[in-house]
Amino acid sequence: MSKTNLSNLDLNLLVILDTVFTERSLTLAGKKLFMTQSAISHALSKLRDHFEDRIFIRRGNRMDPTPLCEELHQNLSPSLKKILHSLEDRGEFSPATSRRTFCLGLSDYLCNLLLPEIISKIQIQAPGVTLRIVQATYEQRTAMLQSGKLDIFLGCSRDYGAGVFKEKLFEDREICILRKDHPITGDVMTEDEMSKAEFVSLSLSESGLGFLEDFLYRKGVQRKIKVVVQQEVVIPSLVSSSNLVGTLAERLAQIYSQIMPVRIIRLPLENTVFEIFQHWHAVNDNDPAHRWMRSIINDVAKSLPELTSD
């Protein structure tokens, strides 16, 4: 059958293709779609016949897409999700009646800072809307936006490509925390103390390098990294019972300095302020539901107090 003749292709088959592509497993796809594995296999057989391609190649328990499947998914997935969302909202988005699920990429730091108020606003304005929160590395974010796995992610701005839009939300500052009876006693760490101290560092990159490492590298400053974590909220616990020094966002550090035996200390650097943005794919830019969700996030971020002067 012609690969371009879509007149007899069931939309449900494309939903199944999208799910198998995402899960890379017939079993997981079946659970997500409430279908048996044999039904999933039968649907894939129809897709193979239609496109005259294997679509997926089984390698053990993993289903790997063919090049044609990769191309189909890249082109179809964003549009397919828009169709399904439109059907869910009966073609017109209304927060009060919508049952949409939004997938947001938030680190634990941003969950602490923003998520409680985001949920509070959603419960009032859109009680049927649900959220799914994931944490993605810098390297995963663009692909997850393109595939529709992520609706919006929040974080520092990087070069995510021409198809990714962004909006500034607020500023924060990188500072250090240490236990209250730490040998370092000043309010500002000296360069000598910084060169000798052992640090707990945050990294959301597959390289293991975080925002501060990029910043310090440009300044020609080195430090000793003892532990690298992907969860910023564990850093206060790690430093509270050791001589380690943790680097943390100031807004988060202020919270933990009030409930744990840790204190804030400045880095011996002129300016460690960074900006947090929300990012989304161009395909969702004018989607009413998406614009509503982005406005909720923006409103919550703008309600944060101004960053204290250094």
Q: Judge if 49 and 185 occupy the same domain.
A: no
State the amino acid at position 244 in one-letter form.
L
Q: Tokens 């969702």 map to which residue? A: 284
The verdict on residue 244 lying in a domain is yes
Q: Judge if 233 and 258 occupy the same domain.
A: yes
| Angle in degrees, 0-180, between the axes of helices 108-125 and 250-259, rounded to the nearest 10 | 90
Q: What is the pLDDT of residue 1?
A: 41
The verdict on residue 84 lying in a domain is no
The number of distinct structural domains making up the chain is 2
Q: Which helix (H) or strand (E) holds 154?
A: strand 152-155
Q: Tokens 């101004």 map to which residue? A: 306
Q: Judge if 137 and 200 occupy the same domain.
A: yes
Confidence band of 2 (pLDDT split at 50, 70, 90):
very low
The verdict on residue 4 lying in a domain is no
Q: Judge if 160 and 240 occupy the same domain.
A: yes
Q: Judge if 291 and 153 occupy the same domain.
A: yes
pTM recorded for the entire structure: 0.71
Q: Minimum mean pLDDT among 35-39, 79-83, 230-234, 302-306: which range?
A: 79-83
Arithmetic mean of pLDDT over the chain: 86
**Domain-terminating residue out of 75, 98, 123:** 75
Q: What is the Cα–Cα distance from 260 to 178, expressed in whole angstroms?
A: 10
**Domain-terminating residue out of 75, 106, 128:** 75
Domain that holds residue 267: 89-310
Find the distance separating the first CA and the last CA of the chain, reported in whole Å. Answer: 67
Read off the CATH number of the domain in which 16 is found: 1.10.10.10
Instruction: Classify residue 90 by its DSSP letter.
Output: T
123-160 pLDDT per residue, tens: 999 999 999 999 887 778 878 887 778 899 999 888 78
- φ, ψ of residue 62 in degrees (nearest 5): -105, 140
Tokens of 308: 């204290």
178-196 pLDDT per residue, tens: 999 999 999 999 888 988 8
205-241 pLDDT per residue, tens: 765 455 566 666 666 667 788 998 988 999 999 999 9
Note the residue count of the chain. Answer: 310
The closest of 107, 98, 181 to 141, measured between CA atoms, is 107
Enumerate the H helices of the chain as residue ranges: 11-23, 26-33, 37-51, 67-88, 108-125, 138-147, 191-196, 211-219, 235-240, 250-259, 288-302
